[in-house]
Amino acid sequence: MTNLPDADPGAPDDRSATRYLGWLVRRYRVTVFAAIVLAVLWMLLQAFVPAVVGKAIDAATRHDRDDLLRWCLVLFLVGAGQAWTGVSRHRFAVVNFLSAMFVTVQVTVRQAGRLGSALSRRLDTGEVVAIGTADIRALGAALDITARGTGSLVAVLAVTVILLVTSVPLGLVVVLGVPILMAVVGLLIKPLHRRQQASREQQGLLTGRAADLVRGLRVLRGVGGEAVLAERYRAESQSLRAAGVHTARVEALLEAAQVLLPGIFLVLVTWLGAHFALSGQITVGQLVSFYAYAAFLVTPLRQLTEALDKLTRGHVAGRRVVTMLNAVTDLPDPAYPADPEGFAGDLADPRSGVVVRPGEITAIVSAQPAEAALISDRLGRYAEGGTIGGRPLAEFAMATVRERILVADNDAHLFSGPLRSDLDPFDSGRLPGALHTAAATDIVEALPDGLDSEVAERGRSFSGGQQQRLRLARALVADPDTLILVEPTSAVDAHTEARIAERLITARAGRTTVICTSSPLVLDRTDRVCFVEAGRLVAAGTHHGLLTAEPRYARAVLRADQP
């Protein structure tokens, strides 16, 4: 049994949609080619059934019992082989379908992680959602149809040869008729491709607009803009509906062509076969075979048109995936990353002058919290400028930086699903201690199913303070070498803040920790405080020392009026 998904999705070929589809085929070539071989055998065995039935009928008309029994045995063996190859082909086809879906999810999620905060600027929310819903299925279907499409093509060629050997005119009808059928279908594929692309783009934009509306609904109601935005969304949804109808019209024509054209072909071959049988050019058994072949050809011909349709859809989906894979982050990896062993020393922000010593708990205080947040971004390499041991963080691979430094701010969200998997996805065993440190144990105990309770979207079932404590617990579970916390207690009451401060200092003792805060309850317990004004370091020292020596710091911390 194949275990999915793969541990390592590999490096996709993102130069074009066609190359991405080719990469999927190469990556899963064993199961893809196994499915193709089985599909070819499956279709060939089906193609031989009419010939065997014809031979059996001719033997019956000659009253040749031995020959009849022989052909009946052959028919049984062919049927058994057809059943086995059909079931086996389907198993491999399902594996291919799921493999293409899973690996696409893996590479796109990995890319989303690489893009980080740049993702929302590079791609609309709707595009990302559509890739994870519709596009992955289209790519899976494209990989799945390769087997049946190839088998159908081989079966049509085999039937053509059989008919040419038996009757040249009937064989020529197939040789000339099949390309005509495919050409007619091809005429419908191009406009379908174009309309699917337009509809797909509108769907992504509308999904993104809906997400924006949901996030900003409270603000919209406050300024009275809810009705205006709703009307605009209604108009855009009607445009999407119209685009969907245009696409559906072409799809309906394609579906009709898949049934009508093979049906006309069946009538033509049957009429010609009956004419030749009446004139004595073929036997009765051959007439039955011709009719069966004509009926049989409906299936491979329809599967060929289905293959064109699904490959077209897969190409459209592949183009969206490639667009995401080619999106460039604001903070690219260096061409030649530095050795991770050199990732040591003081963590510093030369632009502001802030220096974080290893093993200490350092606080960054600013009268303008946004200034401290910008420094934390540079220290965590969410913006350029930070250094480690005097070397720019940009010299190291992004994966190395993210592994060693974790920035936890209030823009992070809780994810839908069980709370346990949200806070401790790798079941590290550190969750109970992290919940205690973040003073969040009572939150879990109040839930009906504890850690197994479901978290609503963006954690909206929790209050602001509860969300903040749970996010802090999640950051502590990660247990990074360097933890940067941005206003971790701004939404909790003073009593809870005091408990968090005391426990946090104990839990991170001896570990490099940066806390952007102006809360005296937290500052009083830190090893060192960096006071920043206008984006530059003004003073550094202990909390009590700065209260005495730096009036501006005292005003910022004690929240006195600014001069």
Predicted confidence at residue 433, as pLDDT, reads 95
Q: Which position has the higher pLDDT, 343 or 245?
A: 343
Predicted confidence at residue 182, as pLDDT, reads 65
Residue 513: in which H helix or E strand, if any? strand 512-516
Query: Which value, to the nearest 10 degrees, does the dihedral of the CA atoms of residues 27, 32, 37, 38 take?
Result: 150
pLDDT at 557 > cutoff 60: yes
Residue 320: in which H helix or E strand, if any? helix 284-325
pTM of model > 0.85: no
Q: Considering 325, 358, 381, which residue would you say is the last residue of a domain?
A: 325
CA–CA dist 492, 117 (Å, integer):
26
CA–CA dist 118, 381 (Å, integer):
13
Residue 344's closest CA among 398, 396, 399, 407? Answer: 396
Are 299 and 359 in a shared domain? no
Predicted confidence at residue 122, as pLDDT, reads 73
Best mean pLDDT range from 17-31, 102-116, 267-281:
17-31
Q: What are phi and psi of 465, to 5 degrees?
A: -65, -40
Binned at pLDDT 50, 70 and 90, residue 413 comes out as confident
Predicted confidence at residue 489, as pLDDT, reads 92
In the three-class reduction of DSSP (H, G, I as helix; E, B as strand; rest coil), residue 481 is classed as coil
Distances from the Cα of 307 to the Cαs of 44, 144, 322, in angstroms? 18, 9, 21
Predicted confidence at residue 174, as pLDDT, reads 66
**What type of residue is 348?**
A
Are 409 and 544 in a shared domain? yes
Binned at pLDDT 50, 70 and 90, residue 227 comes out as low
pLDDT at 307 > cutoff 50: yes
Binned at pLDDT 50, 70 and 90, residue 219 comes out as very low
β 354-356/347-349 pair status:
antiparallel
CA–CA dist 556, 237 (Å, integer):
50
Q: What is the mean pLDDT of residues 206-215?
A: 55
Q: What is the mean pLDDT of residues 422-426?
A: 90
pLDDT at 363 > cutoff 90: yes
pLDDT at 272 > cutoff 80: no
Among 174-188, 304-318, 351-365, where is mean pLDDT lowest?
174-188
What is the share, in percent, of the chain residues with pLDDT greater than 90?
A: 33
Are 303 and 409 in a shared domain? no
Predicted confidence at residue 562, as pLDDT, reads 42
CA–CA dist 354, 484 (Å, integer):
13
Are 401 and 360 in a shared domain? yes
Best mean pLDDT range from 126-140, 147-161, 190-204:
147-161
CATH of the domain at 304: 1.20.1560.10
pLDDT at 375 > cutoff 60: yes
Q: Which position has the higher pLDDT, 174 or 216?
A: 174
CA–CA dist 191, 212 (Å, integer):
32
219 falls within a domain: yes
1 falls within a domain: no
pLDDT at 163 > cutoff 90: no
Binned at pLDDT 50, 70 and 90, residue 220 comes out as very low
Are 400 and 465 in a shared domain? yes
Residue 135's closest CA among 285, 263, 322? Answer: 322
Q: Considering 298, 325, 352, which residue would you say is the last residue of a domain?
A: 325
Residue 27's closest CA among 43, 41, 9, 15? Answer: 9
Q: What is the mean pLDDT of residues 504-515?
A: 95
pLDDT at 1 > cutoff 60: no
* DSSP annotation string for 334-347: PSSPPPGGG--S-E
156 falls within a domain: yes
Are 294 and 381 in a shared domain? no
Q: What is the mean pLDDT of residues 294-321?
A: 80
Half-sphere exposure of 548 (CA within 13 A, CB side): 4
Q: Are 353 and 537 in contact (CB under 8 A)?
A: yes
335 falls within a domain: no
What is the share, in percent, of the chain residues with pLDDT greater than 70?
A: 80
State the first-to-last Cα distance of the chain, in angstroms, to the nearest integer.
72
Domain span at residue 434 reads: 340-558
437 falls within a domain: yes
CATH of the domain at 361: 3.40.50.300
pLDDT per residue as tens digits for the range 437-488? 999 999 999 999 999 998 887 778 888 899 999 999 999 999 999 999 999 9
Per residue, what are the HEC states of 5-74? CCCCCCCCCCCCHHHHHHHHHHHCHHHHHHHHHHHHHHHHHHHHHHHHHHHHHHHHHCCCHHHHHHHHHH
What is the residue-averaged pLDDT of the chain?
A: 82
Q: What is the mean pLDDT of residues 510-537?
A: 94
Sign of the Cα torsion 265, 270, 276, 279 reads: negative
β 347-349/387-388 pair status:
antiparallel
Predicted confidence at residue 335, as pLDDT, reads 86
pLDDT at 240 > cutoff 80: no
pLDDT at 306 > cutoff 70: yes
Task: Tally the domains of the chain.
Answer: 2
Burial of 133 (0-12, 13-18, 19+ CB in 10 A): exposed
Are 289 and 182 in a shared domain? yes
Are 247 and 198 in a shared domain? yes
Predicted confidence at residue 285, as pLDDT, reads 67
Are 173 and 273 in a shared domain? yes
CA–CA dist 546, 553 (Å, integer):
7
pLDDT at 284 > cutoff 70: no
Are 410 and 452 in a shared domain? yes
Q: What is the mean pLDDT of residues 504-530?
A: 94
Q: Could you tell me the two tokens for 205? A: 């934009």
Q: Considering 294, 325, 356, which residue would you say is the last residue of a domain?
A: 325
Are 353 and 307 in a shared domain? no
Binned at pLDDT 50, 70 and 90, residue 412 comes out as confident
Are 213 and 250 in a shared domain? yes
Q: What is the mean pLDDT of residues 494-511?
A: 94
